[in-house]
């Protein structure tokens, strides 16, 4: 069996075009403010890509850079200022933050009506209770990929490798909300393969290259590889793609799978927040 390759790039492109067409009909552009604190090179690349895609879709974006030594107070003051700026509909605090800044405190400052990543405690609580009004972009993109490929989630066994607040846990909740039977694995899981082999839907989000080998995949499973690992100038996921695609029914490539979907969902969330604010 050779797997169907889930073309995240093409699916994301269609979503972007739809958003662009809708934005063109609006009197005022939706606005996104991205905050980067510190010198994390990956964060700079991600924010650059997000802003470029915003521009292509006609969404206004601005970037706010704080130095590596920035204090929590400085970041909170900036977030509060952006909370009050009319042209800004969406605030993105790029993670990770430097160690002297509490991520929880910072995310708690983002006004719920501008929380484009769904990371604020209020939105996290809503997702927990089954309300998906504003959910994080990567999990939302993963679910959209499953839906676009016609994957039935209801009643399926879903295994997620990774339990971070930004990928693993919200993805697990979204799958649970769709009636999957969910297992969450992490670095302390004993015998990871025993769990992954039972997965009809396997989500790899550990950030460990080739963690998931073909023998850990159930024949005919749907495999979503979230990992982005850089080594020797090459980007790879968490799944041993070459071998895995001979075992899975469908699989996402890295790059070109979940990554473009994350950005497409950011645009979608920005537009949604813009429309909701206009209605108030």
Give me the active site residues, please.
50, 94, 117
CB of 152 to ligand NDP, least distance (A): 23
d(CA 104, CA 156): 33
C-alpha separations of 237 from 28, 124, 198, 221, 247 in Å: 39, 26, 21, 17, 17
- Contact status, residue 85 vs residue 54, Cβ threshold 8 Å: no
Q: Out of 31, 118, 139, 162, which residue is the one contacting ligand NDP (CB under 6 A)?
A: 162
Q: Considering beta carbons, is residue 59 or 166 the nearer one to ligand NDP? A: 166
Does 59 participate in binding ligand NDP (rule CB under 6 A)?
A: no
Does 166 participate in binding ligand NDP (rule CB under 6 A)?
A: yes
Q: Out of 189, 193, 213, 272, which residue is the one contacting ligand NDP (CB under 6 A)?
A: 189
d(CA 167, CA 142): 9
Does 191 participate in binding ligand NDP (rule CB under 6 A)?
A: no
Total count of residues recorded for the chain:
280
d(CA 203, CA 155): 16
Report DSSP state, residue 68.
T
CB of 163 to ligand NDP, least distance (A): 4
Q: Out of 164, 183, 213, 243, which residue is the one contacting ligand NDP (CB under 6 A)?
A: 164
**Two tokens at 47?**
């924010």
Does 183 participate in binding ligand NDP (rule CB under 6 A)?
A: no
- What number of CA atoms fall less than 13 Å from residue 141's CA on the CB side? 35
Q: Considering beta carbons, is residue 26 or 192 the nearer one to ligand NDP? A: 192
Does 208 participate in binding ligand NDP (rule CB under 6 A)?
A: yes
Q: Considering beta carbons, is residue 101 or 167 the nearer one to ligand NDP? A: 167
CB of 209 to ligand NDP, least distance (A): 9
Q: What's the N-to-C CA distance of the chain in angstroms? A: 52
C-alpha separations of 78 from 90, 104, 183, 219, 242 in Å: 14, 16, 39, 50, 45
Interface residues with ligand NDP (CB under 6 A)?
A: 138, 161-164, 166-168, 185-189, 192, 205-208, 211, 226-229, 258-259, 262
């Amino acid at each position: 069996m050779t797997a169907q390759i889930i073309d995240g790039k093409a699916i994301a492109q269609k979503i972007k075009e739809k958003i662009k067409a809708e934005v063109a009909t609006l009197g005022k552009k939706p606005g996104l403010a991205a905050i980067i604190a510190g010198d994390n090179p990956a964060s700079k690349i991600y924010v650059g890509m997000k802003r470029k895609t915003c521009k292509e879709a006609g969404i206004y974006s601005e970037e706010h850079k704080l130095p590596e030594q920035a204090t929590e107070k400085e970041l909170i003051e900036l977030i509060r200022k952006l909370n009050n700026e009319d042209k800004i509909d969406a605030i993105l605090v790029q993670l990770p933050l430097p160690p002297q800044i509490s991520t929880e405190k910072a995310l708690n400052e983002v006004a719920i009506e501008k929380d484009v990543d769904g990371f604020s405690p209020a939105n996290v609580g809503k997702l927990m209770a089954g309300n998906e009004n504003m959910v994080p972009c990567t999990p939302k993109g993963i679910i959209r990929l499953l839906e676009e490929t016609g994957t039935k989630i209801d009643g399926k066994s879903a295994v997620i490798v990774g339990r971070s607040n930004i990928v693993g846990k919200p993805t697990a909740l979204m799958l649970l909300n769709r009636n999957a039977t969910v297992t969450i694995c992490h670095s302390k899981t004993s015998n990871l393969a025993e769990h992954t082999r039972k997965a009809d839907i396997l989500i790899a989000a550990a950030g460990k290259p080739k963690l998931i080998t073909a023998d850990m995949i159930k024949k005919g499973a749907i495999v979503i590889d979230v990992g982005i690992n850089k080594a020797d100038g090459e980007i790879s996921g968490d799944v041993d793609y070459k071998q895995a695609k001979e075992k899975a029914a469908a699989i996402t490539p890295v790059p070109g799978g979940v990554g473009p979907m994350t950005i497409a969902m950011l645009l979608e969330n920005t537009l949604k927040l813009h429309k909701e604010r206009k209605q108030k």
